[in-house]
Amino acid sequence: MKKLGIVNRIDFIKLLDHQLEDGDWPMYGLFIAPRSNTYFGSRELSAAFALEAMDLMS
């Protein structure tokens, strides 16, 4: 998207707004184990996805 000159500023700002004081992002359930309906995720994965998304948008 960046190569085409398309930047989604709204999502970029939302990512910044959700960033915690320590610079990380909160843990979100990224996927569900089918049999137990247990959510899996971590702050590290949330931060990695957020940073990659922000890099693609900037």
Instruction: Output phi, psi for 48, to 5 deg.
Output: -60, -45
Model confidence pLDDT, tens digit, residues 43-58 = 888 899 889 888 887 7
Instruction: Output phi, psi for 57, to 5 deg.
Output: -90, -15
Taking CA atoms, 32 is separated from 2, 28, 45, 47, in Å, by 31, 11, 15, 19
> 4: number of CA atoms within 13 Å, CB side?
4
d(CA 54, CA 58): 6
Indicate if the pLDDT at residue 22 is higher than 90. Answer: yes
Select the more confidently predicted residue: 6 or 14: 14
Q: Is the pTM of this model over 0.75?
A: no
Q: What is the mean pLDDT of the chain?
A: 82
Select the more confidently predicted residue: 57 or 26: 26
What confidence score (pLDDT) does residue 53 get? 86
